[in-house]
Amino acid sequence: MTSLQRVWAWWAAGLIMYVPANVYPMLRTATLGHETQNTIVGGVMELIAHHAYGVALIVFVASVIIPVGKFIAIAFLALSINRASILSAHARLRLYEVVEFIGRWSMLDVFVVAILSALVQFQFVANVHPGIAAVSFALSVAFTMLSAQSFDPRLIWDADEADPS
């Protein structure tokens, strides 16, 4: 299996896991017998309803914008190996470095859910439990990190040398 095949395999697995991460509840909270479940976007909307605009923006960027951006960037890099690219080899290498750097911070949502679940356990007042989306999101992040790590950045330069234009 070539490195590009591994990139695409991990990328597809990450994309498949990203769907349930956004469809199913990320967090289940029960307060005084009233249970609520929120998806990622539902949680953002709930934060906006409570006028927590800054936190809502952080959650939206970390949970939606960055993962979608990573999917697009990895696909662009993989496709740019076999086709002419609008970006120079240096710009594509910078894009790859950004994707690698962001990968370390992509688990922020999962850590927040885990910490909330561990800290907020007042059985009679409140309970917080991670939903199935938390596992799906963690797997999606892990798979996209593996996809980015499977990408050999030397291919960028090899493709640039092979391009006759």
DSSP of 80-120: HTTS--SS-HHHHHHHHHHHHHHHHHTTHHHHHHHHHHHH-
Instruction: Assess contact for 95 and 133: CB atoms under 8 A.
Output: no
Per-residue model confidence as pLDDT tens digits over 23-53: 999 878 777 777 788 888 888 888 898 888 8
Q: What predicted TM-score, i.e. pTM, was given to this entire model?
A: 0.82
Give dist(CA 159, CA 95) in Å, integer.
16
Dihedral-angle region of residue 54 (phi above 0 means left; psi in -120 to 50 means alpha; beta otherwise): alpha
Q: Confirm if 81 and 155 have CB atoms less than 8 A apart.
A: yes
**Beta carbons of 10 and 66 less than 8 angstroms apart:** no
pLDDT in tens, 97-118: 999 888 767 776 666 666 655 5
Q: Which helix (H) or strand (E) holds 36?
A: strand 34-38
pLDDT tens, residue by residue, 55-104: 888 888 888 999 999 999 999 999 988 877 788 888 999 999 999 888 76
Question: Tokens 């998806």 map to which residue?
Answer: 39
